Structure 1
Amino acid sequence: MSVRTTPVVAASPRHENLVRISRMFALFTGVGYLGYLLLLAAGILSLSSIMASWWTPTMVAVVFGPGLLLGAVSRHGDGRLMRGVATTAALSFFVAVVTWPFAWNGTRIEQFQAVWFSAFPGLASLAAVVAWPAWLVFVHMVVGCVSVQLINFVARGDVEPMMLLPEILFAIMFCIIFVGGAVMALRTGRLLDETTDETHATAATAAAQEARSVERERFDALIHDRVISTLLSASRRGADDVPAQAVVTLKELDEIRAGVEADRPFDPASAVIHLRATAAEADVGATFEVVVEPGDGPPVPADAVRAVGAAIAEALRNSRRHAGPEARRSVRGVVGSSAVTIEVDDDGAGFEPASVSSRRLGIAVSIRGRMARLPGGSAQIRSAPGSGTTVLLGWERP
């Protein structure tokens, strides 16, 4: 029989952090375009006289329109639309650069003046950050800075040629601070998303492994507690409970094969009923005196009730096999919302607990091991030759 396990589901890629940071920079870029439009309005009007009549209004719309739209779609547009608008804003800047020589009428500007679009080549590169890979963004920034400084150099006319290179380098160094920061911020968001995906995938794998381990332990315990016990009972003469044990064993095997989940918590009264039924299946002749502790509280976890019940059943089966034919067995204890305390006693032959081999799975696995795996669980075995055996089982809410 194969053990039913939970399949590992690959975590789907997540981009929450990257998208959030991209939207933040898109909004920042849109606000930047609005700010530059307001700050440069007077300069744009003053320089319109040296340009063809069609050029200034057209280029203002072409350059500033996509940038302002990028800020608008940053909050509510989808990622594909935002990247498309960002690409348009980045490229439209070069429309002004390329068309300027054809629209300029040759009139020189003062040395302290500059063409209006030379004030924000880095802002256009910030728009590119939202949509393009880092290397292409830096190419865009360098080309933009060089081209606008060349236009300024030509438009001023009488500027010393040796001043061109410092102007270009200054523009590049000024813009790279903001563009580089944006690139690193997006890279951080991308790495955070990748780390989150990896963490989720690792957690899913660990959960699947834990589920497989739990199912194997459940199956191993069933083999020992039910199958082997049924076979041992069948090997004894006069055993009249073999059919009942076999029915219960087959039922539990069917539940494992069907993947039945039994994790609904028990109220204390239902927990006592479950423990009584489990004890009766293992030894119908054992006395059962487990009571409900007075008081209200949260229900007892199903894992705790089933683990204690399985340990009770194993303790009773061990007693039937080893305590002697005349031994009497009893189950006593208290079940409450915050704790369960059970004693399984017999007055039989007893044994020396220290002498029991670790290969004896009844005690090592089905009692001590089971209770040790239960959070808040405990198990103690007290016995001596000729003095009977007491198995103490406990659970406390962590």
Structure 2
Amino acid sequence: MIEWDAATIKDFQTTLLAWFDEEGRDLPWRHDHEPYHVWVSEIMLQQTQVQTVIPYYQRFMALFPTIADLAAAPESQLLKAWEGLGYYSRVRNMQRCAKQLLTDYDGQWPHTAATLTDLIGIGPYTAGAIASIAFNEPVPAVDGNAYRVFSRLLKIDADIAKPQTRALFEQVISRIIPHDRPGDFNQAIMDLGSSYMTARQPDSAHSPVKRFNQAYLDGDELAYPVKTKKPRPKPIAYVAVLAQMQDHWLMTQRPSNGMLANLWTVPLIPIEELDLDEDYQPADLVAAVETYFKQEYRLTLTAHYLDKRPVTHTFTHQKWTIQGVGGEVMLGDLAYFAGKAVTTAERQQLPMPKVQEKIFTRYLSD
């Protein structure tokens, strides 16, 4: 690992911040230093691209302009506002955090990274971002961009998949971050990591900090950061039942805990729960789904196979493959059905996960 002297650190700070002043991204949450705005944007940006987040952020702020508005929002409205961003535990924790701020902190934000981590759903990175940007605390915000940028600048070969590596990067960056503009510094690193120092196609030849980038100068930039591979997501096969009862759709609500909690989908049946041979045919699947509806929901379903390629959707630890089956349900009692029958207009108002949108797009489009 390279270690910079004080003169190099000062030179780097000056170069980076001059570039940021000229070329930094104009993002809606950067128009002020309000901690609420910083917090919401940082939570949204986890696992999500900036261009995707911008309209979500703007709608979210229109719906919930203050912490109190967020704390008081009905969960269905909250989930609908988040629909399509995924990782719904993020927004649930945001509401819990908003309530915590009102109850325990009189609606006031803690000012340091150390105290911000006492809040629900705020980890070291988000705490560092809020503390540095909103409260000018000289603390690093170590995310994927920071790992990538500093591992290349300084040729840090520690495995970033290991939790203990964060402490090393925090220690290194703490020596480099300026005390007068820590928030701008952290945001400049974010912009650098998403432009000239991207993961697969960096453009370090034109980077404003190329003379500090030791991995680039040595010709082995793509070797950094060092990261061991995660295990592949577990494959799970489902059948999605797009069933109608007259002009209503049958929709189920997910349990209040676990994946996609409280979101609405069409009935999703794990294939392994159906009595099927390994070499089952479409007709076998249709018959098994009809039997499942009769046994589990006490509903008579007349099903048909939807002959389109399955939907695939990858979560962090699971990869779903979903085959669609359509059908009509005879009028009957929904007492045993874990959901409700809704019109198309009502269905569109339900908070649904991205995977459900993909199912409708695949199987209901011409």
Common fold by TM > 0.5: no
TM interval, short-chain normalised: under 0.3
TM-score by length of 1: 0.18
Task: Report the structure number with the largest CA radius of gyration.
Answer: 1
> Greater relative contact order: 1 or 2 (C-alpha under 8 angstroms, separation 6 or more)?
2
Which structure has more helix as a fraction of its residues? 1
TM-score by length of 2: 0.19
Which structure has more strand as a fraction of its residues? 2
